[in-house]
Amino acid sequence: MSEIQRAKLVLKILNKTYPKIKVPLSSRNIFTLLVSVLLSAQCTDVNVNNVTKDIYPKYYKPEHFVRLGRKKIEKLIKRIGIFRIKAKSIFILSKILVDKYKSKVPKTFEQLEELPGVGHKTASVVMSQGFGYPAFPVDTHIHRLAQRWGLTNGKNVNQTEIDLKILFPKKYWNKLHLQIIYYGREYCKARNCYGLSCKICTTCYPNRNKPFIAKKP
């Protein structure tokens, strides 16, 4: 079975399993989406949502976080991993948005990736979920699953993104990256399926009889 054939099977199973998909991170606007994605690094979406549900009703604009200052931001997000580094990024990022972009989140990858704490994956999520621009954010989970399903050689996260963009039409990207994440959490877990038991793995590799070990990014 070729990569293209596997990609078609994956898309078919995911669309049947998740015909409708919900954005996992809660947000009030594009700015709070940006903050939530930044906070989600090395942290679960559930934990981020539990923290931000007490923040966003009151603080949801860049100028709010500028007025708060770094130390108060730290107190608000202290239940999240590496909170001091993230608080510093959020504070400086907010100041840049106020001073340079009139409190608006910029709409290009280049401008987003210039902001502190914002890498390509974070920018991709904001472009996709915030602005509706076709993007394919690839995190460590998608990187792992794409290898299990034979859609990439797993060289690194950047290569996985390139490979997936080649295999899947652009019109599917924004929904598909979320479908993959949800499927991985529910059916193809890192320490459960091992490439041997979920529907996608058994369909793409019916003769696989040893656990598949994915390359780390």
Enumerate the active-site residues. Answer: 121, 139
Going 217 to 81 to 67 to 128, the CA torsion angle's sign is: positive
CA distances from 146 to 29, 36, 120, 204 (A): 31, 25, 18, 12
Give yes or no for a contact between 113 and 148, defined as CB atoms under 8 angstroms apart: no
Give the Cα separation of 48 and 37 in Å (integer): 9
Identify how many contiguous H helices and E strands the chain contains and give both numbers: 11, 0
The residue count of the chain comes to 217
Nearest to 65 by CA among 43, 38, 47: 38
